[in-house]
Amino acid sequence: MPAKRSVREVMGGIAVVTVLSVSLLLWSCDRRQASPPPPPVPEVATVSVSPQEVVLTTELPGRTTPFLVADIRPQVNGIVKKRLFTEGSEVKAGDVLYQIDPAPFQAALDNARAALAKAEANLPSIRLRADRYGELLRDKAVSQQDYDDAAAALKQAEADVQYWKAMVETARINLGYTRITAPISGRIGKSSVTEGALVTAYQPVALATIQQLDPIYVDVPQSTSELLRLKRNLEDGRLNPNGKEQNRVRLILEDGTAYPMEGTLQFRDVTVDPTTGSVILRLIFPNPEGVLLPGMFARAIVKEGTLGEAILIPQQAVSRDPKGNPIALIVDGEGKAQQKMLTLNRAIGDQWLVVSGLDPGDGVIVEGFQKVRPGSPVKVVPFRDGGKRVKEGGAEAQPPSGAN
């Protein structure tokens, strides 16, 4: 009996080992069948780099100033009898603004005219006397002294006539100055005097101020460093001046809205402000509706020139390395992502102007670059503005997850 139990035990052990071996083999096969497939190649959306012509502009802050300004001051002394305008209204050149009491000036004119008439009345008799003395002198009937006295009296009488003519003209001018008129057309401000006020000739305080606001100036400062950079770019041929279109200027108002009319660059000042290191650009804008008022803050968009071979890429395609340098990923000819170091100039809308780092024809990764590393293979899907990509066949596809 003991010998039989030993055989049975041996056979049972063999059966257990066999079952365990089969189980391990089946578990190994199931594990091989359940292993995950390799990760798919990440999709990226790209744009092709192509040089294009770009108009470069500079945005500069500035303030509006009147096209013409005239301070109204009296040119004679007197009492203001009337004010003949409405404060804040539009006036035209030649309109009478104030009337100073003309009575004393009218009297002075009448007095000068009477004195002139008296001098002119005495002149004929004095001239005849001088003529007779001249004839008598040839006959030796009068002395040379008598003739000289008569000739001197004639010259004095003629001078008196000229003097009183000048006095009449002066009195007439002063009488005209009692009517204070507008030297220019424009909008007049508040009056500093009322009827009955005493005013003096050329007083320091203006009676009122007229400002012509259509057209209107906008003065903007430009730093000398920007001016020198622009000059170098023009001299090197990197920028095309663009002819007359170069002088066209646009304006952004204080509330951020665009002024509907274009202006013109008049000139650049030649004097540098030592406190700011800038020169003044004077712009002129039409202002028929009176939207622009003197002293208003605005931002002018001034054209620098045209860049013929400019490279622009979407801002979302540019990232920064740990040192803050701009970088971008492109897809090379083998379908792999490669990193490029960029040199940027400025932002133009939602794009960067690239100075160096990219070549025409490069496919810059715009969406999906967060999922790839330099040297890894990628699947390229064309990019279209508006945040959607276009698959083959023209069907729209959503941006890859995690896209910038």
Output the pLDDT for position 181.
94
What digits encode the pLDDT tens for the residues 341-353? 888 888 888 888 8
Output the pLDDT for position 135.
83
Which two tokens mark 342?
A: 């960029």
What would you report as the CA-atom Rg of the chain, rounded to the nearest whole angstrom? Answer: 47
> What is the distance between the alpha carbons of residues 240 and 306, in angstroms, rounded to a whole number?
5
Name the range with the highest mean pLDDT among 1-15, 120-134, 369-383, 387-401: 120-134
What digits encode the pLDDT tens for the residues 76-91? 999 999 999 999 899 9
Domains and CATH numbers, the chain: 44-55+309-397 (2.40.420.20), 56-66+211-305 (2.40.30.170), 75-101+178-205 (2.40.50.100), 102-171 (1.10.287.470)
pLDDT above 80 (res 382): no
In this structure, what is the dihedral angle of CA atoms 208, 209, 212, 213, given to the nearest 10 degrees?
Answer: -100
Output the pLDDT for position 399.
36
The model's confidence at residue 66, banded by pLDDT at 50, 70 and 90, is very high
Output the pLDDT for position 376.
83
Q: Residues 108, 173: contact at Cβ < 8 Å?
A: no
How many CB atoms within 10 Å of residue 321? 10
Q: Residues 198, 98: contact at Cβ < 8 Å?
A: no
pLDDT above 90 (res 69): yes
Output the pLDDT for position 313.
86
pLDDT above 70 (res 31): no
What digits encode the pLDDT tens for the residues 169-195? 999 999 999 999 999 999 999 999 999
Q: Read off the pLDDT of each residue in 377-392 and give the average, rounded to a whole number.
A: 61
Percent of the chain residues past pLDDT 70, beyond the cut: 81
Q: Kindly report the length of the chain.
A: 404
pLDDT above 50 (res 327): yes
Output the pLDDT for position 389.
41
* CA distance readout (Å), 43 to 104, 194, 346, 379, 380: 96, 81, 29, 5, 6
Name the range with the highest mean pLDDT among 5-14, 31-40, 153-162, 356-365: 153-162
Judge if pTM exceeds 0.85.
no
Output the pLDDT for position 26.
53
Q: Read off the pLDDT of each residue in 16-44 and give the average, rounded to a whole number.
A: 60
Specify the pairing of strand 278-285 against strand 43-48.
unpaired
Q: What DSSP element (H or E) covers 144?
A: helix 144-177
Which two tokens mark 356?
A: 């160096």
